Amino acid sequence: MVNVLLECAQGRLRGVVDRGTYRYYGIPYAAAPIGARRFLAPEPASAWSGERDATQKGPNAPQINRKFPGLDATGFIGDGWRTGDEYLCLNVWTPDPKGKAPVMVFIHGGAFVAGTGDAPAYNGRNFARDGIVCVTLNYRMGIDGFLPLAGADTNLGLRDQLAALHWVKAHIAAFGGDASNVTVFGESAGAMSIANLLGSPLAEGLFRRAIIESGHGRMLHSFDCMQRVIQKLAEVLAVPATAEGFARRSLEDCAKAVDAVSQPGVIADLREPNGLDPAFGLSKFLPVVGDDVIPVASEEAVAGGMGSNVELLIGSNLEEMNIYFVPPGICELDDEIMARFLLGQVFPRADEALLSYGLGKGKKPGLALTEAMSDLVFRQPVRDFALAHRGHTHVYEFGWRSTAFQGRLGACHALELPFVFDTLATCSGPEGLVGESAPQDLADHVHALWAGFARDGSLPWPEFEAGRREVYRLEERRSCSEDEFPAAQLKV
């Protein structure tokens, strides 16, 4: 690799040329969120003097590394917190700084408490190889990003993402990108974020296309419900339940507190008045609805026409919940009472749901729970969001099954990511997400579909509509008409 200099409006950057593509790490898109700025909306980053080293990864957001028993998640979660004040930064891979290529901006997942834009699987070099400028970014999470504190701005993590998209609009031309042809894509919490941005008046004009991988617009909390999280965290940290109070504690102390309240049973009940926990117990931190970022729930907003000028590709994986329930053995649960209890803690129609998914008909309770939650948490809301969107909308399903955990991990949550980025090696091995010997030809296919959509919106199957539920099976390379899931009859 050879160092290379680039001039942009902020100053001079030193990046690297890697096998014919250009890479720039750790570019600040907003001022460091420290001191008086810690709980406020992001401000533009200042210019620098001289030459800034962009050859090494920058810092990322404060977090405690997530663990999955028996599974090496480093490839798609990263290796934990890399400290530094300027963690509101992004990375750019480009085929040619003097070109005018389509742009893809990736927002990582991690339950709004973990993850990083420079995890190994999110290496954007292969998009640059194929003529796309790829951007990945970090944003505030946990207490600093998604806690609606008195005296703080709300939905700070989403405001950070908006700031990064404004940076792309203003600066990406200097990296060879076409600011008028931006596709935003993300997975899990990143996909939920994009669904919310689609419905936000603050995001209008920032992107032409969106790819939502295992996400939708229903994982939102009310301000009232989030007060339970605030009070518990204030108790753990021994501070007043205000921005001023939380600012007394270090980023490290707050990251530890996020981890503490995320353990099962610490906050017993995050159900809204309708009896539903919108995160189904998967996270204590969600965006809140009712501010200027999310005035109304995004599914309602897009049904009313917001984001109708944005072309949408949205989808899910066949066995989403396996990543949560296979490693700890919940999928093998034989206790029917426990299965009812676990789902009943987060979903008011638990008994009906489990019966609809085979409980009492010869199916193991843990498997019925896993299949029900795969549909309730991810697959059904994805279809509902697709139907709500008033613009061009295509739906995919990823059904290739990982060989990890003796093949039991299956087509789980996040599995498509190394196929999308064409980075299978980063998640391979006996404890890797894709297991061993994942099919490179499928990665070639999925990666090419995403890149083609980013170029001009083209996809080789019909749009998804109420009267024609056409879904593209990625592993089969064909589309088919899909029947409704039992979850479609379990609205709350």
**Rounded Cα–Cα distance for residues 179 and 165 (Å):** 10
Q: Which of 359, 300, 301 has its CA nearest to residue 333?
A: 359
Going by C-beta distance under 8 Å and a sequence separation of 6 or more, which residues neighbour residue 257? 143, 233, 236, 237, 249
Catalytic residue among 320, 371, 397, 475: 320
Structure tokens, 492: 């709350």
Is 280 in contact with 378 (CB distance < 8 Å)? no
- The distance from CA 439 to its chain's CA centroid, rounded to whole angstroms, is 24
Catalytic residue among 86, 188, 200, 394: 188
- The distance from CA 162 to its chain's CA centroid, rounded to whole angstroms, is 14
What are the two backbone dihedrals, phi and then psi, of residue 180, each rounded to the nearest 5 degrees?
-90, 0
Catalytic residue among 413, 428, 447, 479: 413
Is 337 in contact with 428 (CB distance < 8 Å)? no
Is 471 in contact with 396 (CB distance < 8 Å)? yes
**Rounded Cα–Cα distance for residues 434 and 370 (Å):** 20
What are the two backbone dihedrals, phi and then psi, of residue 480, each rounded to the nearest 5 degrees?
-150, 160
Residues in the chain, how many?
492
Judge whether 320 counts as a catalytic residue.
Answer: yes
Judge whether 445 counts as a catalytic residue.
Answer: no
Is 164 in contact with 257 (CB distance < 8 Å)? no
Judge whether 46 counts as a catalytic residue.
Answer: no
Active-site residues, by number, are 188, 320, 413
